[in-house]
Chain A
């Protein structure tokens, strides 16, 4: 099959850029550890309130781990627990969240924290809060009639 010379140049250029792009994405994922939230742990969604660590939602200082704090959230229609939380600036935090009923979103607006909460699964993401201020947490997956009222707040304090 004949391919026009210009089309060959165009495709070689395009495929080369594609390979460079995929290499960048791959190095970022596997070498630098920038993977999307993919915690593989499961939980009984009907026993969230009595299962650690979700029996005590909120911020907890931890020792001997790669992060300084664990921030536990429980989502259910149409609220997060805690409804507001303070985090010290510069702290490395592992956000751990799950849902008690339907699928919810967990997005901290203006940051890279963005994960789906699905019944039966635990979602985690490790991040550092570098800038002081108030961050809005919104549910970004439709969960029912009160979906747009579902929010929480992280205050990053000095």
Chain B
């Protein structure tokens, strides 16, 4: 793989940084909201009367789950494409800016509605709880803006392919394409429920909404959403971390194949979030459970590939014995260590995910705080620490500065603080969840129930963990501001991995989007058509809106 640009063009850099500013403002606001939640739920702290637990929880979920992730990912992917496929054309860059502003306007609209307590419906906005129409319009604009950003990426990919006929696209551009296409196919679901169901209903144009159809469309989007978060981390693990440690990418073809498998198996699986719901036939639930578990295969490929890269590098440096190569890894380099902590977190995170998606085990943990513990390992550790690890070189690269030794050290401390805080918080959440403590609930003794009393020590541990994590957020924001505005001028490397010499030529079949999107659509139709027809044919009378907040 050849790198077209040594340095990302300044004009593209500005576009990427605009996305990152919003992402890190979101981190500050959402992180504070998270801290407040853990404190309230410990039972030792009360919110002032002008706000409430569920309003803060809505802010936390929307701002971190939707805003931070979407802005960071779109910015990162734009940087990857500009770096590996060449500077964006004026038209592509303009499209990117339109996407950015559309998302930003949407974010502000949704945020104002949440702050006015017109939309305390959490980031999943399940009907028949009804938010203000402007909240739904704001979220729609965020999604539409991400499509426009995606269009800029697809245009850049298309012009590279045109200029290089018969050649496979650069690996990181290819990966950004897979994630963008998956995102577009997935967001059609949430766009459909918002535009055709929730928006007309919140405007009073229709009186009732079909709750099950709305939830099904939401979860058709909701699970690929988590892979939309995860795949950019995988891009860094597959193709950037090898360069940082001084090794090679294990296999270009296998990396592409695992991304294609994620595209195929991320979407037709939403029912595993709806296992305990009435109204869906259990046989169809089981079918989607099976499809869900097929992502185990690309996940195992990823794990193998990463550790193969690490071991091959260590052995090339003269490591001996079964685990001697571990010592050769660059443990003093934050660009490696912080994403590495994320990789380690993915081991318990993935195991917990197997429990959640299981047809029967799910019943023990469904909607308990175990689930919250689970995605604070996946999203809030594996993914987010990798995003932080990326920021440590990408931000100074884009701003023409360098990551100093002092900042590198602070960045490693940041990663360790995060790991400690999350061990407390997520560990306590998993444990309390197994005892039955519900997720998304303010502090309660449930009338002095003995069972609820058992949960409280774990809730205190969550507050301890949450406070440590908040320190981690302050450190991260400090480093980000330093790298964006104050670090010494210089040239920070944009690491792009090279494929090991022994690897074979990449087959062109991976670029056959008609084939992959075709299979994706067929799988979706297979998994959803009949249950969807059932839902509509057997639908009860719809629900009126309620504003219980």
Interface on A for B, CB 8 Å cutoff? Answer: 1-4, 6-7, 10-11, 14-15, 18, 21-22, 25-26, 28-30, 34-46, 77-78, 101-103, 105, 107, 109-110, 112, 114-124, 134-136, 138-149, 151, 153
A sample of 9 cross-chain residue pairs with beta-carbon separation below 8 angstroms, ordered by A number, consists of A2-B504, A11-B304, A14-B296, A34-B359, A42-B539, A109-B435, A109-B436, A119-B540, A139-B441
B451–A77 CB distance below 8 A: no
Closest A residue to B294 by beta carbon equals A18
A136–B436 CB distance below 8 A: yes
List 5 A-B pairs, minimum CB-CB distance, nearest first.
Answer: A144-B548, A109-B436, A120-B540, A140-B438, A42-B540
Check A35/B538 contact, CB under 8 A, given A139-B438, A142-B54, A153-B449.
Answer: no
Partner of A121 from B128, B437, B444, B540 at Cβ < 8 Å? B540
Q: Does B321 lie at the interface of the complex (its beta carbon under 8 Å from any beta carbon of A)?
A: no
Q: Does B7 lie at the interface of the complex (its beta carbon under 8 Å from any beta carbon of A)?
A: no
Partner of A38 from B280, B452, B542 at Cβ < 8 Å? B280
A120–B543 CB distance below 8 A: yes
B451–A109 CB distance below 8 A: yes
Q: Does B4 lie at the interface of the complex (its beta carbon under 8 Å from any beta carbon of A)?
A: no
Q: Does B390 lie at the interface of the complex (its beta carbon under 8 Å from any beta carbon of A)?
A: no
Residues of B within 8 A of A26 (CB): 286, 290
Report the minimum CB–CB distance from B112 to chain A (whole Å).
Answer: 20
Partner of B541 from A11, A28, A120, A122 at Cβ < 8 Å? A120
Residues of A within 8 A of B540 (CB): 42-45, 119-121
Residues of B within 8 A of A35 (CB): 282, 285, 359
Q: Which of B263-306 contact A (CB under 8 A)?
A: 274-282, 285-286, 289-290, 293, 296-297, 300-301, 304-305
A138–B54 CB distance below 8 A: no
B278–A121 CB distance below 8 A: yes
Closest A residue to B130 by beta carbon equals A102
Check A115/B254 contact, CB under 8 A, given A11-B297, A153-B449.
Answer: no
B126–A103 CB distance below 8 A: yes
Report the minimum CB–CB distance from A42 to chain B (whole Å).
Answer: 4
Residues of A within 8 A of B104 (CB): none
* Assembly CA distance A134 to B507 (angstroms): 63
Residues of B within 8 A of A40 (CB): 278-279, 281, 538
Residue among A37, A43, A112, A141 having the largest count of chain B Cβ atoms under 10 Å? A141
Number of B residues with CB within 8 Å of any CB on chain A = 75
Check A112/B452 contact, CB under 8 A, given A45-B543, A120-B541.
Answer: no
B442–A148 CB distance below 8 A: yes
**C-beta contact mask, B357-378 vs A, less than 8 Å → 1, else 0?**
0111011101110000000000
Q: Is the interface of B mostly helix, strand, loop or mixed?
A: loop
Residues of A within 8 A of B129 (CB): 102-103, 142-144
B449–A151 CB distance below 8 A: yes
Known contacts A18-B297, A101-B548, A147-B441; 19 further A-B pairs (Cβ under 8 A): A11-B304, A14-B296, A15-B296, A25-B289, A25-B360, A34-B359, A39-B278, A103-B211, A107-B438, A109-B437, A109-B451, A116-B278, A118-B212, A119-B540, A123-B278, A124-B278, A136-B451, A144-B546, A153-B449
Partner of B128 from A43, A102, A148 at Cβ < 8 Å? A102
Residues of B within 8 A of A107 (CB): 366-368, 436, 438
B286–A29 CB distance below 8 A: yes
Partner of A7 from B289, B308, B539 at Cβ < 8 Å? B308
Q: Does B176 lie at the interface of the complex (its beta carbon under 8 Å from any beta carbon of A)?
A: no
Partner of B300 from A10, A102, A123, A141 at Cβ < 8 Å? A10
Residue among A44, A112, A145 having the largest count of chain B Cβ atoms under 10 Å? A145
* Assembly CA distance A136 to B454 (angstroms): 12
Check A25/B358 contact, CB under 8 A, given A7-B308, A144-B129.
Answer: yes
Report the minimum CB–CB distance from A133 to chain B (whole Å).
Answer: 9
B449–A29 CB distance below 8 A: no
* Assembly CA distance A145 to B52 (angstroms): 8
Q: Does B501 lie at the interface of the complex (its beta carbon under 8 Å from any beta carbon of A)?
A: no
B436–A134 CB distance below 8 A: no
* Assembly CA distance A105 to B276 (angstroms): 10
* Assembly CA distance A114 to B129 (angstroms): 21
